[in-house]
Amino acid sequence: MTEKNLPPKPKYYSGMELEKLVRYCDLHSETPRALFRKDMIAQMIDYAGNPQDFPSAEEMSEAEIEWQPLHKPMKTLVKLCQEKYNL
């Protein structure tokens, strides 16, 4: 990925850069528990362009939950990010 296609640092930032976060979420979504912090989910939603079937990144960042189990939904976000940023 070249520097010009990198997205700006999102408002909801988990501390991981795009490629590392997408790779982590892709692998971790295949584990039995697949728990993700809400800031990671918000960052993935933000990077994926706030897809229609997901809460907004802002809603997720303000959610009462700290950790959320995701399998299929995270795979969807991973795929959207991979396509959008050619990962």
Number of domains in the chain: 1
> Beta-carbon neighbour count of residue 51 at 10 Å?
13
Instruction: Return left, alpha or beta for 47; rule: phi > 0 is left, psi -120 to 50 is alpha, else beta.
Output: alpha
| Calpha distance 86→56 (Å, rounded) | 23
Structural domain range at position 32: 14-85
Cβ(69)–Cβ(34) under 8 Å? yes
pLDDT-based confidence at 5, cuts 50/70/90? low
What lies within 8 Å, CB to CB, of 11 at 6+ separation is 46, 57, 58, 61
* Residue 69 domain-assigned (yes or no): yes
> Beta-carbon neighbour count of residue 64 at 10 Å?
5
* Residue 50 domain-assigned (yes or no): yes
* Residue 27 domain-assigned (yes or no): yes
- Of 11 and 34, more confident: 34
Summarize pLDDT for 21-53 with one digit per residue, the tens.
999 999 999 998 888 988 899 999 999 999 998
Specify the pTM.
0.85
- Of 11 and 72, more confident: 72
Extended beta strands in 3-87, E state:
35-37, 67-69
